[in-house]
Amino acid sequence: MDHFVNHHPLHGPFPQGLEQIVLGMGCFWGAERRFWRLGEGVFVTAVGYAGGATENPSYEQVCSGRTGHAEVVLVAFDPALISCETLLRTFWESHDPTQGDRQGNDIGTQYRSVIFCSSDEQLRLAEASRRAYGAALAAKGLGPITTQIAPAPPFYYAEDYHQQYLAKNPDGYCGLGGTGVACPTGLGAEPA
């Protein structure tokens, strides 16, 4: 199956030199659109489930809250064309990472905020970005970040009809909303 927008293959193996990161920020339809719209450097996006115990879960199982999975977006990107910092900035600014197991009216563990990293460098950048954005949020009177940051667990692709849903259904639901707080630049500039 190919990506509905850019026609690249949804499933790997992806071309050599690409990195992958898995991000969860509420309903995955709008989250995926935020990343494919970044354009050059984003090879492919795909929605799926990660962070839980059930193998190959269905959407209905994930929505039951019994799998432990979050709705997530896999982003395969070329770090020579788009930085992990840019992806992280988009992540932080596109949702409210202080809400725990919800995003707006979407409530449940599947809507929690997560960053699942595929390398130690991504983990370092994610932690540095959390500290920087946490300080920016606190300065505006918002609560602490609840985002889970961890090495990438298995990623399970969502059903075909969920892939690039908002490109196929332009008037479809998107409950994403950020805090209005800008993420500081130079997120990963802190020493390791």
| Contact criterion met (CB below 8 Å) for 74 and 48 | yes
Helix/strand/coil for 57: coil
Sign, CA dihedral 181-47-186-191, equals positive
Which segments within 123-164 are labelled E, that is strand?
A: 148-151, 155-157
CA dist 16 and 159 (Å) reads: 26
Which entry of 27, 84, 117, 183 is annotated as an active-site residue?
27
84 is catalytic: no
Enumerate residues 6+ apart whose C-beta is below 8 A from 85.
Answer: 125, 129, 186, 187, 188
Residue numbers annotated as active site: 27
